[in-house]
A and B are shown apart, each in its own frame.
Chain A
Amino acid sequence: MRLTLNVWRQKGPSDKGGFEKHSLSDVSPDSSFLEMLDVLNEQLIEQGKEPIAFDHDCREGICGTCGMVINGMAHGPQQLTTTCQLHMRKFKDGDEIWIEPWRAKAFPVLKDLVVDRGSFDRIIQAGGYISVNTGSAPDANEILVPKTEADRAMDAAACIGCGACVAACPNASAMLFTSAKIAHLGLMPQGQPERYSRARNMVAQMDAEGFGGCTNHGECEAVCPKGITLENIARMNRDFVKGMFIARQEPKAQA
């Protein structure tokens, strides 16, 4: 395959950045999108140029490290697929491809296609856990979890924290990510004691990070490689509102 690539290059957070054009020939249709970029990078190194920086690690669609906007779509044209699992056979010989980083105020670009998603970690810090110290757990079978609830919790827990939802949203909202954790923990009996304070604190942190609000576009669900559904956002909103009524303290967010 022959391809023309327009890749976003940006030296650092304060650099303006811009597209750089490359042509690539003899691309194997069996290679993954990232392997195609590996080939391009080897060529750039050979030519004495700097290779394109992009994040990736497991290359099997589970670690959530990789992610780029390909032809305007987060993770590219194939549904339910991370960038590392996208293969070049989904493109045609002679195609022109545009490659950009996730774009959101709360995900500053570090270099080229690499962004800082530390804001996601801070949302989890605000309450995305069950407070149980090591060693203080009862026997596992003393906590009964109905199978249907466990299955739904697992659906939400499948989120890999890649940030595609934010990149696809016209408001750069992180509500799909945040709600997936709130739903996962809120669906299980273990998560009940902190359920409402968790929703309020995580939402407060999400806002403090500069993510936008949800206006029901549904782009996040459409690009999510793990099929996390909008239902989770509804669940989060209910817990958040109920939390406002029963709250005993103001929500906390780190600056």
Chain B
Amino acid sequence: MAERNDELRDNAPSGPIETAWDRHRFDMKLVNPANKRKFDVIVVGTGLAGGAAAATLGELGYNVKAFCYQDSPRRAHSIAAQGGINAAKNYQGDGDSIYRLFYDTVKGGDYRSRERNVYRLAQISVDIIDQCAAQGVPFAREYGGTLTNRSFGGAQVSRTFYARGQTGQQLLLGAYQALERQIQAGKVTMYPRTEMLELIVVDGRARGIVTRDMVTGKIEAHLAHAVILGTGGYGNVFYLSTNAKGCNVTASWRAHRKGAFFANPCYTQIHPTCIPVSGDHQSKLTLMSESLRNDGRVWVPKKKEDTGKKPSQIPEADRDYYLERKYPAFGNLVPRDIASRNAKEVCDEGRGVGPGGLGVYLDFADAIERLGKKAIEERYGNLFEMYERITDEDPYEVPMRIYPAVHYTMGGLWVDYNLMSNLPGLFVIGEANFSDHGANRLGASALMQGLADGYFVVPYTLGNYLWSERTDQKPVSADHPEVKKAIADVEARTTKLLSIKGTRSVDSFHRELGKLMWDKCGMARNEAGLKEALERIPALRAEFWENLRVPGTGAELNQSLEKAGRVADFLELAELFAKDALHRRESAGGHFREESQTPEGEALRDDENFSYVAAWEFNGVGAEPTLHKEQLDFEYVKLTQRSYK
């Protein structure tokens, strides 16, 4: 019988890493086909991870209920990924291997991920490409009909598969179509426009969820033998991010409140090439693919006085190509975290350009002169068009303005090697878990991890759990006190949000929280700022619960109410985020503590004191959470200081 895993055993097989997953698969229990139909499984979220898991579990014969807040599973935000998906196929014969992808990913994550999980991810990457090609995903091809590849940040080989600038869309539609096939077959029941608002825990195991139908307002419980969360990241705690407007932490946070540990919440990826904020009306930020840095040169004026001038009026001698100056070896192609921090630094010095001085130039003039406008158009035409549509400026004529934006969260619910949280029966996959990217994710690795978890990991590990538990798990009835209590809690919270009848809208609170997080917990963090955030967040949360205005009722489609529930949870997560950032006194990947840097101003890790996963246990709103540590051991990868000079 499964116990709570509060000691954070990783449950990974020991022995040679190359055969660990094979041996583990052999050791795990199987569920025979006739027995699979006796198990009910809930999957929340239908992006790459959730959609792939729901489809595969349906194919295997489990009874699956899948949930998403969007009007269709095809709209999950995985769809917005542009660049590609990594796989160690070595189709280019350029020296790639499973071991190299494993090594690059651990190093890129600044040595804060679990080696055995990452090795498995690299192994599975090759199966993902096979699966997606067989589904009809229209990957880019060579004239001979084989698959082609491109290169991406943090790697010296070409291992990225892509479908134009819409790789996420095409992979998601592949998973969506597989899911729709299982819906047609009757193995998956789909609940679109349905939001998970509570986790049901019975006898210490996850046994169901409480949902709200976003059209009718109906609140009800769904029960199962296990619950899988594939509900994405929490970048929207910053209000402005490249996430979709609906992306939220509620499913993960509700599970956290019910006992699941939240790991490394402060690890956030800030992407360097986004379109800057244009005014107070701004509702989200748009990413421009990292590939632009292959041909664009980043610069700002040397002198503050020049920031108001047109770029064409600033002579070459008065421009500071700061990345090329500081990092001659990598130049404009330094990793994401370094490019982002340097942009912030020059803007803090008052040398930023555009509205509010929050932007740097990404200039294609040299590339256009060298290669011709046509060549640049072929490479980046769609991105240039998108830029012009949003900013009304023609990047062929004037340099683009870019600024970093929140893009991805490496932190998430803690899981073991089986992708099960410390709470038995609760599995967490994709961006929602913390597992594979350490403190910084490499480009084209998010799609890989989502599909690996959904297609190839959780279908095995779930079966092992279900069969091991079969005799201990009692049926849970709808009348069980825990079920009734969970429903009552959701109803009470909904009623409370509607009854405050204050003066401020949900968005005004969300914007204020976002600005606070960006200023104090953004690209660079320090002790004083984090302590200030820890004072201001609870105050804002208190005001939220006293002065919120949500029009309408709970028994109808009410978008203000939906947002209110999500922002309420962001207001709790934000505090844990700042606490985690304050406690981690080292810099690692996307987490930059100003107190911990090299003499040249680069991120400085402290392996002796912080080579662990910080997993936090919830003790009540406003109460001090308990820190649990999973020590990270590196048997295969050698820890070094990253250098890109």
Q: What sequence of 0s and 1s flags, for each residue 40-65 of chain A, a beta carbon within 8 Å of any chain B beta carbon?
A: 00101110111101011111111111
| Contact for A130 among B136, B141, B505, CB less than 8 A | B136
- Residues of A within 8 Å of B, CB-based: how many? 80
CB pair B144–A144 under 8 Å, yes or no, is yes
CB pair A58–B77 under 8 Å, yes or no, is yes
CB pair B177–A134 under 8 Å, yes or no, is no
Q: How far is the CA of A50 from the CA of B361 in the complex (A)?
A: 42
CB pair B560–A139 under 8 Å, yes or no, is no
Q: What sequence of 0s and 1s flags, for each residue 181-213 of chain B, a beta carbon within 8 Å of any chain A beta carbon?
A: 101100000101000000000000000000000
Q: In the complex, what's the smallest C-beta–C-beta distance from A232 to chain B, in angstroms?
A: 14
Q: In the complex, what's the smallest C-beta–C-beta distance from B384 to chain A, in angstroms?
A: 14
Q: In the complex, what's the smallest C-beta–C-beta distance from A143 to chain B, in angstroms?
A: 6
Q: Find chain A residues with CB under 8 A from B508 CB.
A: 42
Q: Find chain B residues with CB under 8 A from A25 CB.
A: none
**Residue B283, interface by CB 8 Å:** yes
CB pair B59–A133 under 8 Å, yes or no, is yes
**Residue A247, interface by CB 8 Å:** no
**Residue B263, interface by CB 8 Å:** no
Q: In the complex, what's the smallest C-beta–C-beta distance from B174 to chain A, in angstroms?
A: 9
> A interface vs B, CB < 8 Å?
11-12, 28, 30-32, 34-36, 38-39, 42, 44-46, 48-51, 53, 55-65, 78, 81, 85, 87, 89, 110-111, 114, 116-118, 120-121, 124-126, 128-141, 143-147, 150-151, 153-154, 157-158, 160-161, 184-185, 188, 190-191, 254
Q: In the complex, what's the smallest C-beta–C-beta distance from A236 to chain B, in angstroms?
A: 16
| Contact for B551 among A36, A51, A78, A128, CB less than 8 A | A51
Tell whether A63 pairs with B80 under 8 Å between CB atoms, given A134-B131, A150-B138.
yes
Q: How far is the CA of A117 from the CA of B192 in the complex (A)?
A: 11
**Residue B89, interface by CB 8 Å:** yes
- Residues of B within 8 Å of A, CB-based: how many? 80
CB pair B133–A137 under 8 Å, yes or no, is yes
| Contact for A144 among B145, B281, B560, CB less than 8 A | B145
Question: What total count of A-B pairs have CB within 8 Å?
Answer: 220
CB pair B134–A128 under 8 Å, yes or no, is no
| Contact for A188 among B138, B143, B287, CB less than 8 A | B138
* Nearest opposing residue in chain A for B73, CB measure: A121
Tell whether A60 pairs with B135 under 8 Å between CB atoms, given A48-B551, A50-B552.
no
Q: Find chain B residues with CB under 8 A from A125 CB.
A: 180-181, 183-184
**Residue B577, interface by CB 8 Å:** no
A-B pairs, top 6 by smallest CB distance, nearest first, are A144-B145, A137-B134, A129-B177, A140-B133, A31-B281, A154-B138
Q: How far is the CA of A38 from the CA of B506 in the complex (A)?
A: 12
CB pair A190–B135 under 8 Å, yes or no, is yes
CB pair A65–B71 under 8 Å, yes or no, is yes
Q: Find chain A residues with CB under 8 A from B176 CB.
A: 124
Tell whether A65 pairs with B70 under 8 Å between CB atoms, given A30-B279, A35-B281, A129-B135.
yes
CB pair B177–A141 under 8 Å, yes or no, is no
Q: In the complex, what's the smallest C-beta–C-beta distance from A68 to chain B, in angstroms?
A: 14
**Residue B146, interface by CB 8 Å:** yes
Question: For chain B residues 284-302, which have a beta carbon within 8 Å of chain A?
Answer: 284, 286-287
Q: In the complex, what's the smallest C-beta–C-beta distance from A206 to chain B, in angstroms?
A: 15
A-B contacts, 15 of them at CB < 8 A, read A32-B283, A32-B390, A51-B560, A57-B75, A60-B286, A85-B386, A128-B177, A129-B135, A134-B55, A135-B127, A144-B144, A144-B145, A145-B138, A154-B138, A154-B163
Tell whether A146 pairs with B130 under 8 Å between CB atoms, given A45-B549, A85-B390.
no
**Residue B364, interface by CB 8 Å:** no
CB pair A185–B281 under 8 Å, yes or no, is no
CB pair B56–A134 under 8 Å, yes or no, is yes
CB pair A38–B283 under 8 Å, yes or no, is yes
CB pair A138–B245 under 8 Å, yes or no, is no
CB pair B244–A124 under 8 Å, yes or no, is no
Q: How far is the CA of A48 from the CA of B551 in the complex (A)?
A: 7
Starting from the known contacts A28-B278, A57-B77, A117-B71, 4 additional A-B residue pairs (CB-CB under 8 Å) come to A35-B281, A62-B166, A81-B389, A157-B163
Q: How far is the CA of A57 from the CA of B177 in the complex (A)?
A: 20
Tell whether A188 pairs with B75 under 8 Å between CB atoms, given A57-B246, A125-B183, A128-B177.
no
Q: Find chain B residues with CB under 8 A from A56 CB.
A: 245
